[in-house]
Amino acid sequence: MSGIVNALNLAKTGLLTGQKALEIAGNNISNVNTPGYSREVPTFTAFPSIMIQGIMVGSGSGVSNISREHDVFLTKQIQDKNASLGAEEGKAEPLTQVENTIGISDSSLGAKIDNFFSAWQSLSGDPGNQVARTDVLDSGTQLAAAFSSAVNALQAVQGNLDVSLGAKVGELNTKIKQVAALNQTIAGIEAGGPSALSARDQREELLKEISYSVGGTTIESAGGMVSYYLPNGQPLVQDQDAFTLGLSTAGGVQSLQLNTGGQPMTLATDKIGGEIHGLLAVRDQVIPDLIGNLDKLAFNLANQVNAAHQLGSGLDGVAGRNFFSPLALQAGAATSLTLALGSYNQVAAGLTSATGDNANALNISALSRALTIDGSYTFSGYYSQLATDVGSEVSNNKMMVTGNKDSLDLISNLRDNTVGVSIEEEMVSLIRYQKGFEASAKYLTVVNEMLATLLNVGR
């Protein structure tokens, strides 16, 4: 009877093994569209053989473990490419807003500069004309307002970036804490033997999202926990410990800080990657450089026009007046630019107060063609170069976003083909497991019939 009993046990293990394998295949199929899901694979193991009537006989099989398909190299590539994509996409929207401010259009600052010198050119045709003189004053007022408006618009973009950074940091801190919690969960499960399959998938997806936000490197310990480090080597996660980011404002400037339990560490733009790096790069580098260049343009324009205007005389006979209020410093010049004249009679169109004298109007008009900035640019040319540089930056950013997306799609598809779920492959496995289950069931039927025959012997 021991042989019959072992045969029944063989049928039982075959049925249980087939059932478990079918469950695993079914779970793979149900998660075919789950982001970050890794295909689960059963490990089949033969049970130890036993001695029956002097012969070693097999005792069946079982599923000893369920593992997840995983490729460390592809995972690292996806995280790195995700960080690059995050950095470029972080720049995309604010750069577009900057381009809308520093652009070439009929209402742009560049157009106001051209209009200002065109008004002086028109005045030279009729230097005593009240309307033409008023147009010069109006164009000067509009030019000063355009400088101020451009800087205010750029500072508004900076303010929006501060708000966006606050939201991004809050989301990132939540994910950092989730990774630390999953580290504990995974270590606890795997200490008992089985793999923490779904928890590892969740953690890998979170790490991908964190890399998009800040870049960095992942290192897994032997116990199954991971540590995540920023590009500058500072930790965000160390095993079960989570170190959050924060924002600190001093002197109107918002800085990013890492809280490691002691004194918060300020993180410079080049010490962090991903989307937050892109946001900081526009806020702390692109926009301040542009504002500085606008200040330089306003400072030079005001000084050059004032110097020329002082050489002439208004219709009221007074000479030596400034056209714009004098600027002591280049920093802040764009928002400080204002008109110094209060009446059309004060406009120095000529070197004398004679109504027909247009010499000074011609001199000021000629400033529009002089290479007065760095000896290389006219006023309009300098602004056009700024606008061109911004346009090039936006164009390059779009190309980089597209390129990084294409690369990420390629690597992600390779990852899906390598460790993801293939419906065709799972269908083949289903058929194989189903046939194995059916064969075990048939085997059980045969053994049962044999047992019934033995029981009926001698009746």
Q: Are residues 348 and 432 in the same domain?
A: no
pLDDT at residue 346 above 60?
Answer: yes
pLDDT at residue 31 above 90?
Answer: no
Report the number of distinct structural domains present in the chain. Answer: 2
Do the domain assignments include residue 413? Answer: no
Q: Are residues 252 and 364 in the same domain?
A: yes
Between 268 and 131, the higher pLDDT residue: 131
Do the domain assignments include residue 192? Answer: yes
> Residue type for 383, please?
Y
Q: Give per-residue pLDDT as tens, 400-444.
A: 999 999 999 999 889 888 888 888 888 998 999 889 888 888 888
2 confidence band (pLDDT: 50, 70, 90): low
Q: Are residues 41 and 149 in the same domain?
A: no
Domain that holds residue 43: 2-69+423-456
Q: Give per-residue pLDDT as tens, 91-100.
A: 999 999 999 9
Q: Give per-residue pLDDT as tens, 210-257.
A: 999 999 999 988 788 999 999 988 899 998 889 999 888 877 778 888
Nearest residue to 437 (alpha-carbon basis) of 13, 7, 8, 4 = 13
The CA-based dihedral angle spanning residues 22, 24, 25, 27, taken in that order and rounded to the nearest 10 degrees: 120
Q: In sequence order, what are the beta bridge partners of 44?
A: 63
Q: Are residues 215 and 260 in the same domain?
A: yes
Do the domain assignments include residue 249? Answer: yes
Q: Between the CA of residue 405 and those of 37, 214, 397, what are the distances in Å?
A: 20, 17, 12
Nearest residue to 237 (alpha-carbon basis) of 184, 200, 273 = 184
CB atoms within 10 A of CB 28: 24
Do the domain assignments include residue 438? Answer: yes
Do the domain assignments include residue 412? Answer: no
pLDDT at residue 74 above 70?
Answer: yes
pLDDT at residue 124 above 80?
Answer: yes
> Which are the contacts of 250, defined by CB distance < 8 A and separation ≥ 6?
none
Q: How far apart are CA 350 and CA 140, in angstroms?
A: 18
Q: Are residues 293 and 156 in the same domain?
A: yes
Q: Are residues 345 and 376 in the same domain?
A: yes
Q: Are residues 139 and 49 in the same domain?
A: no
Lowest mean pLDDT among 47-61, 372-386, 413-427: 47-61
Letter string b/e over residues 123-144, b meaning 16 or more CB atoms within 10 A of that residue's CB: bbebbeeeebbebbbebbebbb
Q: Give per-residue pLDDT as tens, 138-153.
A: 999 999 999 999 999 9
Q: Are residues 99 and 247 in the same domain?
A: yes
Q: How far apart are CA 259 and CA 274, in angstroms?
A: 19
Q: Are residues 434 and 308 in the same domain?
A: no
Average pLDDT over residues 261-280: 87
Q: Are residues 139 and 159 in the same domain?
A: yes
At residue 420, φ and ψ (nearest 5 deg) are: -85, 180
Residue 456 contacts residue 16 (beta carbons within 8 Å): no
- Eight-state DSSP code of residue 347: -
Lowest mean pLDDT among 63-77, 199-213, 324-338, 352-366: 63-77
Residue 449 contacts residue 455 (beta carbons within 8 Å): no
Do the domain assignments include residue 418? Answer: no
Give pTM, 2 decimals.
0.86
DSSP string, 424-456: HHHHHHHHHHHHHHHHHHHHHHHHHHHHHHHHH
The reported pLDDT for the residue numbered 317 is 92
314 confidence band (pLDDT: 50, 70, 90): very high
Q: Which two tokens stand for residue 164?
A: 């966006």
Q: Are residues 298 and 384 in the same domain?
A: yes
Q: How far apart are CA 51 and CA 57, in angstroms?
A: 6
Q: Are residues 63 and 194 in the same domain?
A: no
Helix axes 274-281 and 72-101, enclosed angle (nearest 10): 20
Q: How far apart are CA 290 and CA 97, in angstroms?
A: 13
Do the domain assignments include residue 417? Answer: no
Do the domain assignments include residue 353? Answer: yes
Reduced to 3 states, what is the DSSP secondary structure of residue 240? coil
Nearest residue to 356 (alpha-carbon basis) of 324, 308, 313, 307 = 313
